[in-house]
A and B are shown apart, each in its own frame.
Chain A
Amino acid sequence: MESRTAIREFIVDNFMMGREASDLTDGGSLLDLGIIDSTGVLELVGFLEETFSITIEDSELVPENLDSIDNLVAYVARKTE
């Protein structure tokens, strides 16, 4: 599956249980939209590590890497290069 689809599906299934999937645009900030908080981010990290066989350092836990679908896709692409 394309990483974008997989990431979107995970976010919709795990963080948007009470919302419409259409609320989430590819560039929208997961923090600003209230989709992911500081406890939820660890769930996301677990998913990324397992799905894409990568290891995420603490220093990489920043919004620039993780705060939108676009950022996530780019980040995963860099890590799996």
Chain B
Amino acid sequence: MCGITGYLELSEKKRPDYNLIGRMVQSIRHRGPDEFGAFFDGHCAFGHARLSIIDLSSGQQPMTNNDRSLWICYNGEIYNYLELRKDLEKLGHRFKTQSDTEVIIHSFEQWGNDCLARFNGQFAFAIYNRDDKTLMIARDRLGIRPLFFTQIHDRFYFASEIKALFCDPTIPRKIDLKGLDEIFTWWTTAPPRTAFENISELEAGCYVTIQNGSIRKHRYWSIDFPETFDTKRSAESFAEELHERLVNSVRLRLRADVPVGAYLSGGLDSSATTSLIKYHTDTKVESFSVGFEDSAFDETSYQQQMADYLGTSHHAVKITYNDIADNFPEVIHHTERPILRTAPTPLFILSRLVRKHNLKVVLTGEGSDEIFGGYDIFKETLIRRFWARQPESKMRPLLLQRLYPTLPISGARAQAYLERFYKSGFEEIDTYYFSHIPRIKTTTEVKNYFNRDTQNNINGHDAISVFGYDLPKHFNTWHHLLKAQYVESRSLLSGYLLSSQGDRVASAHSVEGRFPFLDHELVEFASSIPPLYKIHGLNEKYILKKAMRKELPESITNRVKQPYMAPDANSFTQPDSPPYVSEALSEQSIKEAGIFNPEYVNKLYSKCLRMGDRRLSFKDNMSFIGILSTQLLSKQFITSLQSVPTPERSEFKVWVDISD
């Protein structure tokens, strides 16, 4: 993990802004606290904050090639760098370091922008070519590493995090209300839009070239599914290949042989990754998990069971309501966008624990639910489809009871309500977002709290369509599970799970997450597995369970999936909740931010307080967390932005100034 930032002058050469680059790097130093580096040439400036994992002695950045024409600053890992290096050596390239950074530069020298297709990894980087003054910035296929950019006053800026861009006081800071509209629909904006006006996010699987003042985006990869499947092939055979690929993916991610941590949630995916490390690598693994004082969310017994089974050295943290409330503002400082649930906060606390144990890398099970059909939203889709074929059926909707057996409200009690809730949207069965209608319906409630100005501003913005503009050619012919998987991967995976709940809360404590399920070759293989083998009847991730059954206890593979959640509004309405909560939701703060209706917010807050520890509905919880996080975001980034000090020159291990 590292932090990268920089800018390119779009018109004439200028004196480099050394202090600005200093502040930009300083603002993201949590991503790479080990050392700083900078490069300046009058047209371009790079800053780099480094977390050293491989090649501690020679991997310093920014780095250049042999004739010093290309400069790179890079965040991430290219897992197949040894293979690429061999290929490049055969083509005559000579290397000076053992780092994967240098492999990127030589790959770019050799193959140009097409080098991206050869990388297996998680990365965000910028390469500047001094010969023709062009800049290229790129991001990995699934959006594991972040990258943002903006253009103003004849300058193009980029950075791992938005806060680095805001170190330039001439860059205007304003909440993008259309961005909020999208977040309160999908939990994320559709890139390039972000929660801030004129700040863009580079979309996963894309790169941008900046040449002669023109900025162009190109896509080099997208999640895709075939139109037909090899249905003659047995589930057993797919499962065998899957297991082999998983072993390879884990080995590739651990080839540096540094000690690693593994997150154990108590569910199938993280149990799978941890057991793969244990049985198929020589890496020493310590496991980490989050438990909750509120037993409704706690999975400690499963986590402990798995840790005992694998014999890992296990560390757990027990989260209280106040832990969530106390850490929440800092979490928003890192997510840089509103969130609808507190779930990233415990992971923020967990990465602190990982760091305390001197580990820099953790493997987690993220991505498995998306590629193998693990989420309830996929089962919901199958049931709603099945039911929509006979909308008057009395039997078909009974399947809904199978969806949420762990929730207190499910079962026969709430059948009539479940039916009414899930039946809505049947008339939109042909839309690309059909699978996501129930989630969108609940999330959209937050928008009721917008004030009139906000409502007028977003009027006409079609947030529900934002992921539907560039669908793959064959999208409409796909099985509905695949459509749902595609939409989920484009929206929540990259924009929430891997960012707000992934990179951002891990990087906050200088911890790098690695995701064996998101190896792109594994993802492509998973796409070729027939939908029936992913959700078999209503048995989710059937093929993964089959692939892992020899290594995992049945109590884990047969367990009813419990979605990872943390206490939401309850965390902020305790008698000893921190005072910032009521301040952020006060009439004055709401008016100052100018986004929500203070009277409505006050009613919601009063209800949450009144309800005490009793469970609130999903929509009230989401509205509360959505509003509170937006208020904190607005305060931290718009009304009361903290200034970042300029670091001492001595903190920079690399300082290359060729601006004259």
Partners in one complex: yes
Q: Which residues of B contact A46 (CB under 8 A)?
A: 614
Do A18 and B623 have beta carbons less than 8 Å apart?
yes
Contact with B along A35-76 (1 / 0, CB 8 A): 001111111001000000000001001110000000000000
Q: How far is the CB of B402 from chain A (nearest CB, A)?
A: 15
Partner of A37, one of B449, B615, B617: B617
Inter-chain contact total with CB atoms closer than 8 Å: 69
Q: A58 contacts B420, CB within 8 Å?
A: no
A20 to chain B, nearest CB (A): 10
For the complex with contacts A17-B604, A42-B409, 18 further pairs of A-B residues with Cβ separation under 8 Å are A13-B607, A17-B448, A17-B600, A17-B603, A17-B620, A18-B445, A18-B597, A31-B420, A34-B445, A37-B417, A37-B442, A37-B617, A39-B617, A42-B615, A43-B611, A43-B614, A58-B412, A63-B417
The answer to whether the Cβ of A19 comes within 8 Å of any Cβ in the partner chain is yes
Residues of B within 8 A of A61 (CB): 413-414, 416-417
Q: Does B278 contact A (CB under 8 A)?
A: no
Tell me if A5 is interfacial: C-beta within 8 Å of chain B: no
Q: How far is the CB of B377 from chain A (nearest CB, A)?
A: 16
**Distance, CA A28 to CA B415, complexed state (A):** 21
Closest to B608 in A: A17
Smallest Cβ distance from A69 to chain B, in angstroms?
A: 17
In the complex, per-residue mask of B598-628: 1 if CB is within 8 Å of any chain A CB, else 0:
0011011001000100111111100100000
- Distance, CA A71 to CA B446, complexed state (A): 28
Question: A14 near B: Cβ within 8 Å?
Answer: yes
A38:B417 contact, CB within 8 angstroms = yes
A51 to chain B, nearest CB (A): 15
Name the residue on B nearest A62 (C-beta). Answer: B416
- Chain A min CB distance to B118 (Å): 49
Residues of A within 8 A of B445 (CB): 18, 34
A39 nearest in chain B by CB position = B617
Closest chain B residue, CB of each to CB of A45? B413
Docked pose: A32 CA to B425 CA in angstroms: 12
Q: Does B418 contact A (CB under 8 A)?
A: yes
Known: A18-B445, A18-B448, A34-B445. A41 touches B414 (CB 8 A): yes
- Contacts A34-B441, A39-B615, A43-B617 hold; do A63 and B416 have CB atoms under 8 A apart? yes
Pick the 8 closest A-B CB pairs, nearest first.
A18-B448, A38-B417, A39-B617, A17-B603, A17-B604, A18-B449, A40-B617, A31-B420
| Distance between B533 CB and nearest chain A CB, rounded to angstroms | 31
A19 to chain B: closest CB distance in Å?
Answer: 6
Q: Does B221 contact A (CB under 8 A)?
A: no
The B interface, classified by DSSP as helix, strand, loop or mixed, is: helix
Of chain B, the residue at the smallest CB distance from A23 is: B448
B603 contacts A13, C-beta separation under 8 Å: yes
Interface flag for B421 (CB, 8 Å)? yes
Distance A41 CA – B607 CA, assembled complex (angstroms): 15
List the interface of chain B (C-beta within 8 A of A).
408-409, 412-414, 416-418, 420-421, 441-442, 445-446, 448-449, 597, 600-601, 603-604, 607, 611, 614-620, 623
What's the Cα separation between A32 and B604 when bound, in Å? 21
Can you spell out 25 A-B residue pairs with CB atoms less than 8 angstroms apart? A13-B607, A14-B607, A17-B449, A17-B601, A17-B623, A18-B597, A18-B603, A18-B604, A18-B623, A31-B421, A37-B417, A37-B618, A38-B417, A38-B418, A38-B421, A39-B409, A39-B619, A40-B620, A41-B414, A42-B409, A46-B614, A58-B412, A61-B413, A63-B416, A63-B417
On chain A, the residues within 8 Å of B620 by CB distance are 17, 40
Contact of A38 among B414, B449, B600, B614 (CB under 8 A): B414
* Docked complex Cα distance between A62 and B417 (Å): 8
Which residue from chain A places its CB closest to the CB of B623 in the assembled complex? A18
CB atoms of B618 and A39 under 8 A apart:
yes
Assess the A37–B421 pair: CB atoms within 8 A. yes
> Which residues on the A side are within 8 Å of B597 (C-beta)?
18
Chain B CB within 10 A, most for which of A17, A37, A41: A17
Chain A residue numbers with a CB within 8 Å of B603 are: 13, 17-18
How many Å from the CB of B48 to the closest CB on chain A?
45
* Contact status B414-A18, CB under 8 Å: no
**In the complex, what residues of A have CB within 8 A of residue B409's CB?**
38-39, 41-42
Contact (Cβ within 8 A) A63 B420: yes
Cβ of B623: which chain A residues have Cβ within 8 Å of it? 17-18
> Do A17 and B617 contact each other (CB < 8 Å), given the known contacts A38-B414, A58-B412, A61-B417?
no
CA A61 – CA B411 in complex, angstroms? 12
Instruction: Kindly provide the distance from the CB of B492 to the nearest chain A CB, expressed in whole angstroms.
Output: 21
Task: Choose among A13, A38, A63 the residue with the greatest number of B CB atoms under 10 Å from its CB.
Answer: A38
Q: In the bound complex, do residue B441 and residue A31 qualify as a contact, i.e. CB atoms below 8 Å apart?
A: no
Closest to A18 in B: B448
Inside 8 A of A17's CB, which chain B residues have their CB? 448-449, 600-601, 603-604, 607, 620, 623
CA distance A63 to B414 in the complex (A): 10
Residue of B nearest to A63 (CB): B416
| A31 vs B423: C-alpha distance when bound (angstroms) | 11
Complex interface: chain A residues within 8 A of B446 (CB): 18
The answer to whether B441 touches A18, judged by C-beta atoms less than 8 angstroms apart, is: no
Residues on B with beta carbons closer than 8 Å to the beta carbon of A38: 409, 414, 417-418, 421
Residues of A within 8 A of B617 (CB): 37, 39-40, 43
B residues near A37, Cβ cutoff 8 Å? 417, 421, 442, 617-619
CA distance A46 to B616 in the complex (A): 12
Assuming A14-B607, A37-B618, A42-B409, is B449 touching A31 (CB within 8 A)? no
Instruction: State whether A58 and B607 are in contact (beta carbons under 8 Å apart), knowing that A19-B448, A38-B418 are contacts in the complex.
Output: no
Using Cβ atoms and an 8 Å threshold, which residues of chain B touch A32?
420
* Distance of A23 from chain B, by nearest CB (Å): 10
CB B500 to nearest CB in A, in angstroms, measures 23
Which A residues touch B449, using CB under 8 A?
Answer: 17-18
B414 CB contacts on chain A under 8 angstroms: 38, 41, 61
Q: Say how far B588's CB is from chain A's closest CB, in angstroms.
A: 19
Alpha-carbon distance between A32 and B616 when the two chains are bound, in angstroms: 20
Bound CA span A38–B409, Å: 7
